[in-house]
Amino acid sequence: MKIGELAARTGCPVETIRYYEREGLLPEPARSSANYRLYAEPHAERLRFIRHCRTLDMTLEEIRTLLDYHDRPRQPCNAVNGLIDDHLAHVEARIEQLQALREALATLRSRCNGETDSSHCGILQELAQPTPRELTAETGEPSHVPGPHRG
């Protein structure tokens, strides 16, 4: 099958498939006489594996590691457990951060008393204050889970 069909079957954009190939996550497929990429079922399976991991917000680096275990199955799988555990910890840490954020935003939101003139807006006044310590504090290891702004 050509790249468009693979894309349709897996729900992964064509450009992203080529990107994964450049990144070495997908092997280079065969080519037709017109230099079109020609994929078979194993490619589709591997791509589904990658996309499944991506919906779990794993980095490409983490996925590379998992694919490595997948490709060389004689290794012990403890490291797979460890990778998942670490990732789970990252996600949980990020949830806690975002919950604190939600609290802070809700408090902020309650500052506005309905003045029509933004020079008296409590939200803007609050934001002009230095950031409270509990939001500034380093939370140990970096979380590696993105925040609220994604396409």
Partner DNA sequence: GAAACACCCTGTAGCCACTACAGGGTCAAG
Partner DNA sequence: CTTGACCCTGTAGTGGCTACAGGGTGTTTC
Q: Which residues bind DNA (CB under 7 A)?
A: 2-5, 7, 13-16, 18-19, 32-37, 54, 59-61, 149, 151
Q: Cβ 54 to its own copies, closest distance in Å?
A: 9
How far is it, in rounded angstroms, from Cα 83 to Cα 89? Answer: 10
> Are the C-beta atoms of residues 47 and 17 closer than 8 Å to each other?
yes
Q: Cβ 4 to its own copies, closest distance in Å?
A: 19
Query: Considering CB distances under 5 to 8 angstroms, the limit depending on partner class, which of DNA, its own copies, none binds residue 65?
Result: none
Q: Cβ 36 to its own copies, closest distance in Å?
A: 25
> Are the C-beta atoms of residues 22 and 33 closer than 8 Å to each other?
no
Query: Considering CB distances under 5 to 8 angstroms, the limit depending on partner class, which of its own copies, DNA, none binds residue 24?
Result: none
Tell me which residues touch its own copies (CB under 8 A): 11, 45, 48-49, 51-53, 55-57, 59, 66, 69-70, 72-78, 80-81, 84-85, 87-88, 90-92, 94-95, 98-99, 101-102, 104-106, 108-109, 112, 115-121, 123-124, 127-131, 135-136, 142-151
Q: Which residues contact 63 (CB under 8 A, 6 or more apart)?
A: 25, 49, 50, 53, 54
Tokens encoding 124: 């803007």
At 67, which amino acid appears?
L
Please count the other Cβ atoms lying within 10 Å of the Cβ belonging to residue 52: 11
Q: Cβ 15 to its own copies, closest distance in Å?
A: 18
Q: Which is nearer to its own copies, 32 or 141 (CB)?
A: 141
How far is it, in rounded angstroms, from Cα 66 to Cα 122? Answer: 49
Tokens encoding 139: 């939370």
